[in-house]
Amino acid sequence: MTVEVLYFQGCPNHAPTVERVRNVLADEGIPTDVVEIEVPDAKAAQKLRFLGSPSVSINGIDVEGRAPAPGAIGLSCRTYVHGSVREGVPSVELIRLAVRNAKEVSP
């Protein structure tokens, strides 16, 4: 399983997201590294189809399972919806669902 956290330098939600992802992986019994990818500029953001910082992908699929909307790619802060609240870190439930979905499709 390939797990990546994309971020830009100075993002206050980068470290908490990495910690949360690692905790979910440990809870799920998945011994894999979390690859942290710094997105340094707009050109890299376009190339990586960066949805904002932090973004989590598992086997190349965003944890929200969505494709980027036109204009959504770039260096910006990202938020995730938890019920009726927006937060800068994806929820444990969102990460866990993405991990479990990836386990189901992996051979």
What's the whole-number average pLDDT of the chain? Answer: 91
Q: Distances from the Cα of 27 to the Cαs of 13, 21, 37, 72, 104, in angstroms? A: 21, 10, 23, 32, 16
Determine the 3-state secondary structure of 79 from DSSP: coil
For the chain, which domains are there?
Answer: 3-105 (3.40.30)
Residue 107: what pLDDT? Answer: 57
Instruction: Quick: pLDDT tens for 56-107.
Output: 999 999 999 866 666 678 899 999 988 889 999 999 999 999 999 998 876 5
Q: Strand (E) positions, 13-90?
A: 34-38, 55-58, 61-62, 80-82, 85-87
Q: Which region among 12-21, 26-35, 79-88, 89-98 has the lowest average model confidence (pLDDT)?
A: 79-88
pLDDT reading at 54 higher than 70? yes
What confidence score (pLDDT) does residue 43 get?
95
**Omega before 54 within 30 of 0, i.e. cis:** yes
Torsion of CA 85, 15, 21, 82, to 10 degrees: 0
